[in-house]
Amino acid sequence: MDNQWGNIMDDIGAGRTHPDVQKFKPTALRMAKAARHRGPDWSGNFIANNTILAHERLSIVGVDTGAQPLVNDDGSLALAVNGEIYNHRLLRKHLNYPYNFKTHSDCEVIIPLYMEHGLDAPKYLDGMFSWVLYDKKADRTVAARDPIGITSFYQGWSSKTPGTVYFASELKCLHPVCDNIKWFPPGHIYDSKTDTMTRYFQPRWWDPLKFPSTPIDYKLIRTSLEKSVRKRLMAEVPYGVLLSGGLDSSLVASIAQRETLRPRSASARKVNGLSDHEQQSSEELVGIDDDDELSTVTWLPQLHSFSIGLPNSPDTKAALEVAKFLGTKHHNFSFTIEDGLDAISDVIFHLETYDVTTVRASTPMFLLSRKIKAMGVKMVLSGEGSDEIFGGYLYFHAAPDKESFHAETVHRIKNLHLSDCLRANKSTAAWGVEARVPFLDKEFVENAMSIDPAEKIITKDRIEKYILRKAFDTTNEPDTKPYLPDNILWRQKEQFSDGVGYGWIDALKDNAELHVTNEQMKQPKAEWGDDIPDSKEAYWYRTMFDELFPPQCASTVMRWTPTWSKQTDPSGR
């Protein structure tokens, strides 16, 4: 087995059983090129029978290898992947049959997994991914998406080429050809042999009517989140953490910094076959060592953290305090309201949504990602998912009982791919940066969603996300260095997008008034059907979306609304 490994993060596109694939190839390459911002480092394609795979690569690990599509020795299997497989070293070690790995890519392990397990292959993967595999001998196309839908993925069809199926990471790749487009459901696998979609991800928490009853284990919450962050420090390029100053990003930053400062073990050095002397002058990678334990290593001598906000915003002040406490190399950027307003159309183009809360929250992240890319950083850790898992949004205060509370968390997690995951993935990918989300680790989600929801309920004595805060409270652990200052650990959540500055949402609403008249609000477009904007801001975003995308794209959008709330503004302000 090779002692090194690699990784890619990129855009994928595929056309299955096209009537004239060679004639279609220039179109397929143009479709893939539409998302080259996601993978500016290299392009590749593979053609066999009536199928083409096209790929745009962003290299994070294994920079000198791992160009895609990946192909096995006899050329019978080809694979295009957008993702990170964190347990790839462990999977390589425990394959039942020998396989000749041609690259150091962590994603190549999907090929022998498919050879051994067929459609069960994605069950073994720990990571974030969207992939399309073509089996030439069986003339079969298989496509799969990670359990939560962290990486974006779409499937399309064209009435001009019945029987052809298209896949891509973004809508803009598909809509020039496809007149029917749907998002690929998270946790599912598609098989062209039967033309069916099957859910392979079947966790205990999936059914919202099955209420968990596991007693709270604070130590398990802490250790499983620490392990999740450790996995995601796999990179050969400069990386950092997004630090808003809120609880979730601050905890991720704190754990990442502890890993950065942690003395390297002999087993970590052994992973790369390096002597102690060689280690002093070489970067280490991250993966599973020969004892099946995670080993963490860092590329930069100091962890970099990044924040953005309007001048004097609440998040900026909190982020500066956290960065100082942790000792990260912090980069605080500010943007003006005009900067944000000027970017809205670009944000909608890259996000491919008109959901109000997503556009609001994505704009600062989009601007920050551009700054991060300009600094040469290609990967960041981010805090998405915690609010869905622990009921952190303030509207959860109104949950009538623990059963309703739990059902809402399940509903929110299942739809993350249409909101926060979409925002994190596409806001960063717009500039060729990759976002990794430790809270959405498969094992961590399973542990957190198994807890009796009575422990998560918000009361007069318990702030939202109490159990997460308590898990990292070291007050009674005199020998443990605090993870965060108390005022950050117990800081109440800001409303949607307010943390970047209280003037941001107000400016968006005021600007929408300039673009949308009362008469327009009374006469929505007929093609919108029942999906009618309920505010001028929503109307403004929808019209911009319609200018950028044809009607078949709107069916992939879900508008975010809080439950148990009479608020007309989706932020719950």
Mean pLDDT by 10 residues, the chain (573 residues): 29 64 94 95 94 90 77 96 94 95 92 98 98 97 98 97 95 97 98 97 95 97 97 87 95 96 56 37 42 51 91 92 97 97 98 97 97 95 98 94 97 98 98 97 98 96 96 96 96 71 92 98 95 96 98 96 81 58
Spatial distance between the Cα atoms of 12 and 167, rounded to a whole number of angstroms: 8
Residue 462 DSSP label: B
- In this structure, are 182 and 106 located in the same domain? yes
**CA atoms within 13 A of residue 31's CA, in its CB half-sphere:** 28
- In this structure, are 134 and 175 located in the same domain? yes
Range of the structural domain that residue 242 is part of = 218-273+282-556
- In this structure, are 114 and 253 located in the same domain? no
| Closest alpha carbon to 504 in 367, 320, 353 | 367
Residue that is last in its domain, among 199, 230, 260: 199
In a domain, 1, yes or no: no
Contact 246, 484 (CB under 8 A): no
Residue 148 identity (one-letter amino acid) = I
| Beta-bridge partners for 380 | 240, 435
Could you give the angle at which helices 503-515 and 356-374 cross, rounded to 10 degrees?
Answer: 110
Q: Work out whether the CA dihedral 162, 164, 167, 172 comes out positive or negative.
A: negative
313 a known binding residue? no
Spatial distance between the Cα atoms of 168 and 35, rounded to a whole number of angstroms: 9
What does residue 542 show for φ and ψ, rounded to 5 degrees? -65, -40
- In this structure, are 447 and 303 located in the same domain? yes
- In this structure, are 250 and 326 located in the same domain? yes
181 a known binding residue? no
In a domain, 516, yes or no: yes
- In this structure, are 399 and 490 located in the same domain? yes
Give pLDDT, residue 57: 87
What does residue 290 show for φ and ψ, rounded to 5 degrees? -70, -10
Spatial distance between the Cα atoms of 133 and 81, rounded to a whole number of angstroms: 8
What's 429's domain CATH number?
3.40.50.620
- In this structure, are 176 and 248 located in the same domain? no
In a domain, 572, yes or no: no
In a domain, 570, yes or no: no
In a domain, 85, yes or no: yes
Contact 247, 319 (CB under 8 A): no
- In this structure, are 412 and 477 located in the same domain? yes
- In this structure, are 182 and 258 located in the same domain? no
What's 132's domain CATH number?
3.60.20.10
Report pTM: 0.92
β 127-135/77-85 pair status: antiparallel
Give pLDDT, residue 234: 84
106 a known binding residue? yes
- In this structure, are 12 and 40 located in the same domain? yes
In a domain, 70, yes or no: yes
Spatial distance between the Cα atoms of 306 and 329, rounded to a whole number of angstroms: 9
**CA atoms within 13 A of residue 78's CA, in its CB half-sphere:** 25
Spatial distance between the Cα atoms of 37 and 533, rounded to a whole number of angstroms: 30
Give pLDDT, residue 61: 65
Give pLDDT, residue 276: 42
In a domain, 205, yes or no: no
At 248 the three-state DSSP class reads helix
* Number of structural domains the chain divides into: 2
Residue that is last in its domain, among 150, 167, 199: 199
- In this structure, are 226 and 149 located in the same domain? no
In a domain, 59, yes or no: yes
- In this structure, are 152 and 114 located in the same domain? yes
At 224 the three-state DSSP class reads helix
Give pLDDT, residue 292: 56
Give pLDDT, residue 500: 86
